[in-house]
Amino acid sequence: AQRVTQPEKLLSVFKGAPVELKCNYSYSGSPELFWYVQYSRQRLQLLLRHISRESIKGFTADLNKGETSFHLKKPFAQEEDSAMYYCALGVCRGANSKLTFGKGITLSVRP
């Protein structure tokens, strides 16, 4: 069975500090990994996906299949990055297509 582990519930940093939000997954097949973000009073939305290898709002995430990790990183945190972040694993296709989410982590960026 697939599983997503986000080991920390809360990360609090000062503005300008580096950020790393940890995500580990368990899946025997070829994984598709995503990071979703939920800002205060806004809808949950896709931040980035591993296949696109983009940098969104200064965030990057590299899929490490050896360590089964997909950590989200940003070199210099901004106050507007404060939000709830979810790592998600996409499994199967067609009739069994769905995402499994981790428990989420709250990022708080202090001025």
Partner 1 sequence: NAGVTQTPKFRVLKTGQSMTLLCAQDMNHEYMYWYRQDPGMGLRLIHYSVGEGTTAKGEVPDGYNVSRLKKQNFLLGLESAAPSQTSVYFCASSYSTDTGELFFGEGSRLTVL
Binding site for partner 1 (CB under 8 A): 6, 9, 32, 34, 36, 43-46, 49, 86, 90-104
Q: Which residues contact 55 (CB under 8 A, 6 or more apart)?
A: 48
Whose Cβ is closer to partner 1: residue 97's or residue 111's?
97
Find out whether 3 and 88 touch, Cβ atoms under 8 Å: no
In the complex, the smallest distance separating the C-beta of residue 56 from partner 1, rounded to whole angstroms, is 12
Whose Cβ is closer to partner 1: residue 63's or residue 104's?
104
Cα dihedral 61, 37, 24, 96 sign? negative
In the complex, the smallest distance separating the C-beta of residue 85 from partner 1, rounded to whole angstroms, is 11
Whose Cβ is closer to partner 1: residue 82's or residue 106's?
106
